Amino acid sequence: MIKLFFVTDIHGSNVCYRKFLNALPIYGVDTAVLLGDLTGKVLVPLVEKGNDTWECTLMGQHRLIETQEQLAEIKKITENAGYYWVHQSREEFDETRADPAKIDALFKQLVLARVQEWLDLADERLEGKPFQMFMAPGNDDWFVIDDMIDAAKLVHPCDRRMVDLEGHEMITSSASNPTPWDTPREMSEEDLEKHLYELCGLVKNYETAIFNFHVPPHGYSLDLCPKLDENLTMAADEKIHAGSIGAKKVIEQYQPLLGLHGHIHESRGAQKAGRTLLINPGSEYSEGILKGALIMLDKKKIKDYVFTSG
């Protein structure tokens, strides 16, 4: 039997990533899987006002920072929420804000620096340990991140390939069907279905296989999210299925032992699709809460599973 720890959608949150690494020895896992989305979405300039004071806008609120202690606390809150901070003079801030290309370049620099910090930390923590860690991006993540994961020493890449988890073949896809946000790894349903069928062709034994797909299958409880209007405002009382029809087809056809999914943060849960157990641990990264799933796998069956939160 192996103990698998699965986490997804931490979106740049430093505290969630560190909790993930800390959980591996605490839970006594054999294998850990961190599935995208790995990166955050918000840049927070800390603008100098003079006399060792700063100002910023964080979570919609203007903040005046008057001490080093307040500055350290703001940085911590920013990182733990999955945001990225940068020191700027007023001139630097005004110059950057006036040029979208400079904003994009600065944001990308900060995002990739954090990913590299995470990979270096994982390599340090995994050295000499009895467990292994797999990592893959999600639809929100740039393709350059694949090269960074590939270059890590002890973090194993798994996207768009088949890897062996102590006798269980696991195929992974970071892609998703179209979303309202036009993210880097979106595909049409037709192309995504083709991509997933190609991945399935790598598997020899579906009875013990794991389908590690960032996007959940369409029409199950794991892909329910609030409906958006034309202004991308969430409805308070109406939900829709946002998963992939292609993922639904391959899971229902091949009936793997286990399906690991994310993407829809609100739809934490487990559900059967025929003989396949589907799991979405959900995500509350912006609150600094790490949500995960511990799954005990026997050779041909799932012995047990439990959701974790902390």
Tell me: the pLDDT tens digits for 10-24? 999 999 999 999 999
| pTM as predicted | 0.96
Domains of the chain in start order, with CATH, are 2-39+118-309 (3.60.21.10), 43-106 (3.30.420)
Check whether 29 has a pLDDT greater than 80.
yes
Mean of pLDDT values over 19-30 = 97
How far, in Å, CA of 66 to CA of 268, rounded?
A: 40
- What's the pLDDT tens digit per position in 72-82? 999 999 999 99
